[in-house]
Structure 1
Amino acid sequence: MKRFLQKAIPKMYGFYFNILSLFSQEKAGKLALKVFSTPRRGRISEHQIEFLNSARQQRIAFKDGLFMLYHWKGDGPTVLLNHGWESNAFRWKYLFDDLKALDYNIIAIDGPAHGNTSGTLFTAIEYSKLIKATVELYEPEVIISHSVGAMATVYNEFHHPSPSLKKLVLLGGPNSLEVIMKDYQKLLSFNKKVYTGLDKMLFKRFGYHVTEFKTENFAVNITAQTLILHEQNDRIVPVSAGREIAGKMQNVTFIETQTGGHSLHTKENTNHIIEFLKNDNS
């Protein structure tokens, strides 16, 4: 029954969008974008509280309320950690001990509508605004970002280059919003009219059509040493996305990993990250 509902509910959304588009393409597109931007998971779970409480916590104002920042003090360079979709700052626990061993000054944030941050909607562009505010406060020399967090980070660097940034690590980052939206359309089975309305709403709110929003286009001016990790059999974001982004960057090491899936939570990948951070000639 649970499996049936998991398949049926998206189709019900799509059916409703299709009916609504008969009366108003704009309203159908607006609702489709809202559903797309609403995470269903990513708030703090009970088992995550102890680790997150080991940090100094700071709430910072942004448009939709307050976003949560976690700080584990160290005497070395500052590293900023940006999680992905339906996650939160706890996802970095697997990397925490290795970063502390290098005495990094560790900053992590919860994205909009995730963890302990306010809001109900999440987009890469809105997330980039929180990243920008954090970069301005702490001037990180290293940024490590996963999935949509990687897309948001690169978008922010394109519009607001970080003078302090020396090293950038992108983990399983998506490239083309069009690929993501086409998958969304297929999952919900909504029609072309709804898709066009969604595209118009995206342009109205953010200034980009679906086909124009590509991480590779925002990555072209990044000069920081960059490591891109992508698992060869990633089922969430295909490895081709990592290759495409790497192909447009100036100072990049691309590693197609063998383990970890989309999360990349394996010792192999941790070793790649730590070696990159320790190596002055990466």
Structure 2
Amino acid sequence: MIKKMINKAVPKLYGFYFNTISIFSKKRGAEKALQVFSFPRKGKVLEFQKEFLETAHQQKLVTEEGMIQLYYWEGTGKTVFMAHGWESNAWRWKYLIDPLRELGYSIIALDAPAHGKSDGTNFTAVKYSRVIRTVVELYQPEIIIGHSVGAMASSFQESETPHVFVEKMVLLGSPNKLEVIMRDYQNLVRFTNSVYLSLDKLLHSIYGFYIHEFNTEDFISKIKCPILLVHSKEDRIVPHTSMEQIAANSSNSTVYFSKTGGHSLHTEEVVEQILSFL
């Protein structure tokens, strides 16, 4: 009971903190709000995950976002690149890596900035997209698979820098509008609209876009290769309506509603759909 009360109180304390700081400095209040929003509390490699990850060839890649951990399983066929989601790491792909390897695919997976064994303490979709672009251009995979924010970041980088060698993409449980995510954050923490507007200006100064301009549906409209969109109506993290909005802006996408898997989507049903699409 006490733990639940504390968990409910902590977000509101953050909101009070941001609101108070913004009275004296709107920019500083926005910076603190972004810092907390961008800090993953989970996602480091756990003991039980190490055995599987050690079956891969591992290397550290130097990027502008720091040292990034890569995992490579060599095969005889096409190369698949995988980008996990928030507070996760490359191990989350085990359910898909095993059947892909049986079919001869080569696999590249990574730990995102501030996740797994990669460097960093903060994470944004834009930072992630830069790392993804670096890895994609280094290994030139024919297939890109992304989950959740990994799907969002993958589609963003591919819309910004199209790669002719990418033949297919799979987006699992992808969010659509950054504005929805940020409004959820505001409602959870309860910071003021003044802080929100300052946060909007801060993101524009750092990344060159306002919150309402960062949408997967816009990114996907620029991607030419075939895309498989998978979502579940049981997803409690990202509503399935996000996929419907994304699909509406793509003329080359296939949509599949999974009956299993929730947001994680690591079930046999989803694997079958991905393998069939590939």
Scaled by the length of structure 1, the TM-score of the pair is 0.97
**Mapped partners of 1:247, 1:218: distance in 2:** 12
Q: How many residues align?
A: 277
Q: Does the 8 A contact of 1:221 with 1:250 survive in 2?
A: no
Alignment of 1:31-42 (within 5 A): 31-42=32-43
1:123 paired to 2:124: yes
SS in 1 for 2:24: coil
Aligned to 2:138: 137
Aligned to 1:205: 206
Q: CA deviation at 1:106?
A: 0.5
Amino acid at match of 2:41: R
Q: CA deviation at 1:163?
A: 1.2
Q: CA deviation at 1:142?
A: 0.6
**Mapped partners of 1:117, 1:3: distance in 2:** 32
Question: What CA deviation, in whole Å up to 9, does each residue of 1:5-27 have, x standing for no partner?
Answer: 21111111001111111111111
Q: CA deviation at 1:258?
A: 1.3
Q: CA deviation at 1:250?
A: 2.3
Q: CA deviation at 1:266?
A: 1.3
Aligned to 2:8: 7
Q: Does the 8 A contact of 1:142 with 1:165 survive in 2?
A: yes
Q: Which runs of 4+ in 1 moved over 3 A?
A: none
Q: CA deviation at 1:243?
A: 0.8
**Mapped partners of 1:109, 1:64: distance in 2:** 13
Amino acid at match of 2:195: V
Q: Which runs of 5+ in 2 are unaligned?
A: none
Amino acid at match of 1:136: E
**Mapped partners of 1:101, 1:246: distance in 2:** 31
Q: CA deviation at 1:108?
A: 0.2
SS in 2 for 1:235: coil
Aligned to 1:159: 160
Amino acid at match of 1:243: E
SS in 2 for 1:262: coil
Alignment of 1:177-192 (within 5 A): 177-192=178-193
Question: What CA deviation, in whole Å up to 9, does each residue of 1:102-130 have, x standing for no partner?
Answer: 10000001111000110111111100111
Amino acid at match of 1:207: G
**Mapped partners of 2:219, 2:137: distance in 1:** 19
SS in 1 for 2:49: helix
SS in 2 for 1:256: strand
SS in 2 for 1:22: helix
Q: Does the 8 A contact of 1:168 with 1:225 survive in 2?
A: yes
Question: What CA deviation, in whole Å up to 9, does each residue of 1:230-270 have, x standing for no partner?
Answer: 00121100001111111111211011221110001111111
**Mapped partners of 2:137, 2:74: distance in 1:** 17
**Mapped partners of 1:258, 1:274: distance in 2:** 17
**Mapped partners of 1:65, 1:92: distance in 2:** 23
**Mapped partners of 1:106, 1:7: distance in 2:** 41
**Mapped partners of 1:25, 1:14: distance in 2:** 13
Question: What CA deviation, in whole Å up to 9, does each residue of 1:173-219 have, x standing for no partner?
Answer: 00000000000000001111111111111111101111111011111
Aligned to 1:23: 24
1:228 paired to 2:226: no
**Mapped partners of 2:99, 2:65: distance in 1:** 34
Q: CA deviation at 1:221?
A: 1.7
Q: CA deviation at 1:160?
A: 0.8
Q: RMSD value over aligned CA atoms? A: 0.8
Q: Which runs of 5+ in 1 are unaligned?
A: 278-282
**Mapped partners of 2:190, 2:145: distance in 1:** 35
**Mapped partners of 1:27, 1:39: distance in 2:** 20
Q: CA deviation at 1:36?
A: 0.5
Aligned to 2:86: 85
Question: What CA deviation, in whole Å up to 9, does each residue of 1:12-64 have, x standing for no partner?
Answer: 10011111111111110111011111100001111111111110001111123
Alignment of 1:263-274 (within 5 A): 263-274=264-275
